[in-house]
Structure formats: structure tokens, C-alpha cells
Amino acid sequence: MKKLLLLLSMICTCYAASAQFPAAPAGGGKNMQAPPKIGHVFGRVEDQDGKPIPEVAVILLQNRYDSATHGRKDFLYKGVNTSAKGEFSFEELPIMGPPLKIKISLIGYKTKEIPVAFQLKMPAGGMKQGQGNAQQDPAKAMAAASAALSQFEKDLGAIKLESDAKTLEGVTVTGSKPLMRMDIDKKVFNVEKNIVSAGGTAVDVMRNVPSVQVDIDGNVKLRNAAPQIYIEGRPTTLTLDQIPADAIESVEVITNPSAKYDASGGNAGILNIILKKNRKTGYNGNIMAGVDKNGGYNGGGNINMRQGKFNVSATAMVNAMRNKLTGNTDRTNFGDTPVRITQDNNNKTNGQFIFGNLGVDYFATNHTSFSVAGIKVHGKFKPGEVIDINTDSLFPGGTVSNYSQRLTHSMREFNATGLQGGFKHSFKEGEDWTADVNYFSGHSNFNADYTTNYYDANHNIGGSQLQQQVGTGKNMFLTIQTDYVKPFTAKTKLETGLRAQIRNIDNFNDTYLYPNGSTTPVHLAGATSDYTNHDNVFAAYASVTSGFKDFGYQVGLRAESSNYDGKLINTGQKFSNNYPVSLFPSIFLSQKLKKNQEVQASFTRRVNRPNFFQLIPYTDYTDSLNITRGNPDLVPEFTTSVEASYSKTFKGNNNVLVSAYYKHTNNLITRYLEQGTNPSTGKADIINTFINANSAYTTGAELTSVNSITKWLDITTNVNVYNGRIKAADSLASAQQDAMWSWFGKFNSNVKLPKNFTVQISADYQSKTNLPINNNQQQFGPPSGAQSASQGYIRSFWGMDAAVKKSFLKNNAATVTLSFSDIFRTRLNSQFSSSQYFVQNYARLNNPQMIKLNFTYRFGKIDTAIFKRKNLKMQGEGMQGAGGMQ
């Protein structure tokens, strides 16, 4: 009883003090105690007829000082959704301090705001003598204490929402997301407004994401290096051309990943793709279809249904492509007899892929939720190619010329399956435990027939040779991860986690040769490779985020160990390696300045482990001018990165971000040239393989500007200036790469016109730049179209795209988009390369002046009874945490 009265006295004293002194500043003080959190507010939301309304967003706002604007501002304190009975409840609220208010909003109803305040009423004349002594009258003391404490519970009763005269029956766009958002360790770009990529794939999306470069084969570079591709924060076996553009909501560009992320990726960063999600009560979705000028088409749709504790979403899309590519090669091989080879390429690829996604969320309690999702992708492509080849042997006495033509008919088929399971438990505000399992597996089949016809001087076929390749492959990727976040103060939190990544690869490649005029194939053992590969990565991390006033910091440390083993089944050759625990620290610093300015600095260490194509000593003779082979003796490369940035937000949500970066890599994995005997021809050929160079560095500066010029015009600009060099031993001269200053730029603009028309214009420019160090991002089958491992450069090029969108029908539910890419046929990939063995000029042009027409229809209904049945009784628990706030 003494303790109870002592608590009551303390509360009274706190209130007396708070009545005489102003509220404490946001930063607090050393001796200042936080107000007790014993407040409780609850109520029930009804319509005008007195019927309860479930699934209403109820948020609790706290008005306090904002150091960024130097004024007071409403901040989100807590949020829930009403239960099936329309009830909501907020507990553990501060009984004094900055004012609180409840805000209730629902589509079709007027928003309601209710102030929340706890006022302790003292008895008239104060506490009488003797009332503080529990031994005099315990019953009265108990009653007094109970009455006092009950004043910290507020029953708001029935809160009636008024219908809004502007009720929308369909899906309503309530606001526009910012095009770019800055976090301490990443930039988030909203790509939903990108109409140029409508009906395409993630490759088309990346063409308009600042900082990202996309080459003619759809390979991406982030600051001139190949990044890791993630989906929803986890690695994936899917390639960018297997992900529909219409399924993507935003792209997170992480140029310098913190200790929380996988340390793999070396001198590049992470591109994390966030898929579209919608958890509004009722059902809503999209139907879409499109066609392009080559006869390619796309179609599909998605739907989301939400009621009570369940959220179900599904997506199904098909994308059929009819790609056309032309190119030419002019190459001179040195030797006892120099040979000049010129090639004209004409490629056509027909194929399609189907993408499906199904997910279910279950909100068990206010604090616990579960989710499960599945992804299925199937694709089949039939590339065909015609190469006209002129060979001039430059003998001292004259030139001997030969003409041949190679015809290629091939088929690639893949099936990928992904399963994701997640769990989240919130102990209290900000303290969360999550666990998830991600499983991806893929299976591929490949076969190709290469027919080479040799012509005589009269252009008659003098002989033919048939080469055949048959291959299958399997890829399994399993990631298990758990994370825990513990907040200590408003600015200080601890994040920890464990992660296991397991990957298994099986690949079988057989090559056959049909001698001239023979129908019996000869199996080429030297050009055949059947192998398996297994690699595992185990990691743990801890990260602390804190700060004071306008200064913030994040310090983290990640520990990873890895191992891999492989086996060439046809030869019995084995290779393996075990890497001890490596430490990867990360430091992020942030200082907010006056007038919405901020400076940031970061330091990280990362690793790039050789992939299985680089490790396995399989030799691919598919392209006689670009033969490739792996190297099982490769070791990981380690990269140290330093980055500093300055950002400024102007009036009207205009943003400018300027960054400078430096990266240094030891044991850089790069391509290297050597000679070997081609078992198909018996001649010596040049082989592209991989080695560890001594070191390399990259330095550069980047500018990103997002500007809302007017209500009808916004512009995004990105410019990246960079320089890089590779250093290698004198004995590995062909692995050297001299420094070269280059720059890359992107421009994107959206213009809103009358009558619901929108026009988008985008352009990009790449100056002369060094050949990529290693840009092979293929998942299945042997590498194709690999870059030459030699000194050289890519010539400058540019391109422009445009699109126009028209919205119509009720609530603008339907849209038609017409897009035009590479308007001026200028995205020509032209390269020059040279070595001690050859000099080569090479150029390709892929799908120039492509025109696409796409149609989208949005539908939906805010229906709170979609899952209800007469005998279904919903328990009165609010939805809080994942998916609770919309």
C-alpha cells in the first residue's frame, strides 16, 4: 500500500511540475527523466447508422520540435487498424509532454482528429492530512489511488465517421510518392511513374534509374561495376529480363552497402527491387496488355484482397519477345601468317517467359505476423543467327581469301521457382524480431546446332561442318536469415542478425562434331564439361545507430566465412577452397545542416568471390573469336570503399545530391588472354580466362537532381564522372588497364498535359570508356558474348526514348501508353580492343526504334465483407505492425 501511494504521490508531483514548467526539449537533458508511460486510450469507430467499421486506419500523432525545420511538427507515434467490431486501443502512452492527437481516416469518409490529454484532478483543497498514511485507512487510500490511476484511461466511446460527398467508388490515388528518397545508406527511386518501361522488363526499368548503366545485352553497371541484384532485400536467381516492369514499385540503389547486407559484390553495390504490394481492405488490381512493332506482346494482371487478419495477393504475366540484333566484327590476328577476319551478324530471337507470384499475409495478433509467397517463372527462347565470314590470309606473296557462312539454331529453356516465408514479432514499439527463409531454384536446357558452309570462288558450297551442343543445368539458392532490432532511445538502436546462404550448381555440357558429309557425330571430350559446384556463406552482423542533436551515425561489423567445392564429372578433377572468417566493418556518418541541408560520409569493406563460371575450367568454343574458360585457382577480391555526399532540399521538394567516391580492390578478378588448342579444329586459338590482378582503383563523382519545376513538369538528372585503373605484374601485361576519365549521364522528364495526357522524355549518354573488367551476369549455361580480355575501350554513344500516356474512363481507371525507344538509332555498342595477339573492332545494334503500345485497367472495391460469412466471428484484435498502416 505504501508503494501504491508513493507512486500516486510521484505522479501528482510530476503533474504539478509539468503545470509550472514548459515541456522538455526533444533532446532532453542528463538529469531529465522521461514521463511515465501509463496512459491508455481506446474507442470504437462507427458509421452514421451506428454500425462498426473494421479495418479503419487509426494513427496517434505527437506534436514536437523538428530540428530539420526548426519548428513544431506532427510525428507518427503509433498506429493500428480497427478490429471487426470497430474497436481500437493505444496503451503505454506518456501522461505528459508533447501533445497527442488521434487521426482516423478511411476512403469515402471525412477524416476525424481528436486531441488526447491526461489531466489528474486533485481533491478540492489538495490532499488532506492523514490521507498519505495508508495505515490510517487503507480502503480509502486504495480507492483514492484507483480513482487517480483511472484518470489515465480515456474511453472515447463511439466515434462516428461522416460520409464524404466526394466518395470514390473505384481505386483512388490519394497522393504522389516522391521520385527519390534518401536514407543513410541508400537511395530509393520510385519507378511507378516510368511509362517508358510499360510492358517491358526490369532491364527497361533500370535504363531510367539514376546511377545505373545498361549495356546492349541488358547487363547493368552501377558506377561502372556489376552490382548484386536483390528482390525484397534478398539475392535471387532471376535475371533482370525475367522480371516484368509492371510488377516493380521501386528500386533501392545501395552504392556502399552497410554491415547489415551481404558482403558479396566486391567493388559494386546492390540494386534491390521492391515489388508492388497493396494491402487495402477489399479487393483491387490491374489488367494489362501490350504489343510491339516486332510482333512481341505482353499481358497479365494482379489482384489483392484484404480482410481481417488475411491479405492475399496474386500476379500473373506473360512477355513474348521478338528481338533483332545486327553487328559486325573486323579482326586481325597476328602470327607467322597474319589473318584478317570480317564478320556480319544478323540475330533474331523469338521466345517468351511467364511470371507468377502468389502471397499470403496473416496478422495473428497486434504484435505477430506471418507471410508466405511463391514465385514461378518459365521461359523458352529460340535464338537464330546468320554470320557471314570473310577470311583473308596475308601471305608474303599475296592474299588468299575465303568466304563461309555460319547458321545457328538454338533453344534455351528455363524454369525458376521461388518460395519465401517470413515471421515478424514486435515486442514493443521499435523492438522487432524477424526471421525468413528464401528458396530459389532453377532448371535450364540448352541445345544448339552450328552449321558452317564453306564457299569456293564461284560462291558454291564446297564443304560443310556441323557442330552441336547440348546442355542442362540446375541452380539452387537457399537463404536463411534472422534479425533483431532493439531501440534504447528515440535515436539509438541496435540491429543484429545471422545469415546462411547455400548454393548448389549442376551443369552438363556436351559438344559433338559431324565431319564433312558424315551423319555420325563425334563426341569431343576436350570440349565437354559436366560439373557440380557447391558454395556456402555464413554470416553474423551487429550494427548500432545513434546520434545527438542533428548528428547521426551508424557503426557496424559483419563476419563472414565461406567455402566452395567443385568437380568435373567427366574427368574426375576436383577443386575446393575454404576461406576463414573475414571481418567487414562499415561506418556511416550524417550531419544535418540549416536550410534542409545534409552531409554524409561512409566507409565499408566488401568481398567479391569468384562465381562458378569463373572457377570451373570448362572451355566454351561457341564463338571462335571469343573462346572462354574458367580458372579454379581464383581467390576472392576485397574492396575498400569511401564515399562522401552532400544533399539539399529546396522549396517544392526539389532535391540535389552530390557524391564523391573512391574504391580500392586487392586481388581484382579480371580477364586474361592465353593460347590453347581448339579440339574442334586442332588449331591454336586465343582463350579468354580469368586471373587475380594485383590491385585496381576507381574514383569518381556523381550528381543527382530531382526537380519539380511546376505542377505539370518534373525532371530527374544524373551525371557520373569516373576514372579507373588495373595494376598487374609485368608478366601479366594483357591484364593491365590504363586509367581513363569517362562520364555517364541520364535525363528523365515527365510532362502532365490537359485531358489526362502525360508525356515522358528520357535520354542517356556514355562517353568513351574502358572495357568492363567483368560483366558476365548470366545464371545458366556457358558465358555468351563475353568482353575481350584486352586493352581497349567502348566508343561513346547516346540514346533517346519517349512515351505518351492517356488516362480515361471513370476515375481514370484505364490508361493507354505509346512508347518509342532509341528514337535515332544511336545506341550502337562499338568497341576497340587490342593485345599481343590481335586488333579488333566490334559493333552491335539491338532493337533500334522500338515502338510499344500498352493498355492498363485498374479496378477495385473497398469491400469490408469480402471474406465474411454468417457464422464467422472475428476476434476484436487490431492490426498493428506489418501491413497495418496504409
Domains detected in the chain: 2-18+37-160 (2.60.40.10), 181-274 (2.170.130.10), 275-861 (2.40.170.20)
Q: Which of 594, 677, 713, 692 is nearest to 179 (CA)?
A: 713
What percent of the chain is predicted at pLDDT more than 70?
A: 80
pLDDT tops 70 at residue 72: yes
In this prediction, residue 437 carries a pLDDT of 93
Predicted confidence band of residue 489 (pLDDT cuts 50, 70, 90): confident
Between 643 and 66, whose confidence is greater?
A: 643
Average pLDDT over residues 723-739: 72
pLDDT tops 90 at residue 855: yes
DSSP one-letter string for 8-34: HHHHHHHHHHHHHSPPPPTT--TTPPP
In this prediction, residue 457 carries a pLDDT of 82
Which cell goes with 705?
537532381
Predicted confidence band of residue 87 (pLDDT cuts 50, 70, 90): confident
Poorest-pLDDT segment among 144-148, 459-463, 498-502, 669-673: 144-148
Q: Which of 461, 354, 446 is nearest to 409 (CA)?
A: 446
In this prediction, residue 352 carries a pLDDT of 93
Average pLDDT over residues 131-140: 50
Give residues with Cβ within 8 angstroms of 314, minimum separation 6. 302, 303, 304, 356, 357, 358, 359
Which residues in 515-666 belong to E strands, given as ranges? 522-523, 529-548, 551-568, 574-593, 597-608, 619-620, 627-629, 637-650, 654-666
Poorest-pLDDT segment among 447-451, 505-509, 726-730, 739-743: 726-730
3-class DSSP assignment, residue 767: coil
Poorest-pLDDT segment among 191-195, 216-220, 610-614: 216-220
CA 197 to chain centre: 16
Maximum average pLDDT range among 175-179, 304-308, 309-313, 467-471: 467-471
Between 251 and 615, whose confidence is greater?
A: 251
Predicted confidence band of residue 531 (pLDDT cuts 50, 70, 90): confident
For helices 138-150 and 2-20, give the axis angle rounded to 10 degrees. Answer: 40
Q: Which of 442, 450, 451 is nearest to 413 (CA)?
A: 442
**DSSP secondary structure letter of residue 226:** P
pLDDT tens digits for 414-469? 999 999 899 989 887 778 999 999 898 999 999 999 999 999 888 888 888 898 99
In this prediction, residue 823 carries a pLDDT of 95
Q: Which helix (H) or strand (E) holds 711?
A: none
> ∠679-684-687 over CA atoms, to 5°?
85
Which cell goes with 495?
540491429
pLDDT tops 70 at residue 152: yes
In this prediction, residue 883 carries a pLDDT of 29
In this prediction, residue 52 carries a pLDDT of 80
Query: What is the rounded distance in angstroms from the CA atom of residue 599 to the CA atom of residue 648?
Result: 9
pLDDT tops 90 at residue 603: yes
3-class DSSP assignment, residue 205: helix
pLDDT tops 50 at residue 162: yes
Poorest-pLDDT segment among 199-213, 427-441, 757-771: 199-213
Predicted confidence band of residue 871 (pLDDT cuts 50, 70, 90): very low
Predicted confidence band of residue 614 (pLDDT cuts 50, 70, 90): confident
Query: What is the rounded distance in angstroms from the CA atom of residue 886 to the CA atom of residue 878?
Result: 14
Q: Are 587 and 603 in contact (CB under 8 A)?
A: yes
- How buried is residue 88: exposed, middle or buried, by Cβ count under 10 Å (0-12/13-18/19+)? buried
In this prediction, residue 729 carries a pLDDT of 67
Query: What is the rounded distance in angstroms from the CA atom of residue 663 to the CA atom of residue 682?
Result: 43
Give residues with Cβ within 8 angstroms of 529, minimum separation 6. 507, 509, 568, 570, 616, 617, 618, 619
In this prediction, residue 404 carries a pLDDT of 94
Predicted confidence band of residue 828 (pLDDT cuts 50, 70, 90): very high
Average pLDDT over residues 374-386: 94
pLDDT tops 50 at residue 674: yes
pLDDT tens digits for 222-248? 877 778 888 777 777 667 766 777 778
pLDDT tens digits for 537-562? 999 999 999 998 889 899 999 999 99
Mean confidence (pLDDT) of the chain: 80
3-class DSSP assignment, residue 614: helix
Q: Which of 134, 130, 160, 206 is nearest to 50 (CA)?
A: 160
3-class DSSP assignment, residue 330: strand
Predicted confidence band of residue 733 (pLDDT cuts 50, 70, 90): low
Predicted confidence band of residue 274 (pLDDT cuts 50, 70, 90): confident
Residues paired with residue 285 on neighbouring β-strands, in sequence order: 303, 859
Poorest-pLDDT segment among 172-176, 237-241, 453-457, 519-523: 172-176
pLDDT tops 50 at residue 377: yes
Count of C-beta atoms within a 10 Å radius of residue 230: 19
pLDDT tens digits for 101-129? 999 987 778 888 999 887 655 554 444 44
In this prediction, residue 789 carries a pLDDT of 42
In this prediction, residue 777 carries a pLDDT of 40
pLDDT tops 50 at residue 33: yes
Predicted confidence band of residue 694 (pLDDT cuts 50, 70, 90): confident
Between 733 and 444, whose confidence is greater?
A: 444
> ∠200-203-207 over CA atoms, to 5°?
105
Residues paired with residue 432 on neighbouring β-strands, in sequence order: 426, 485
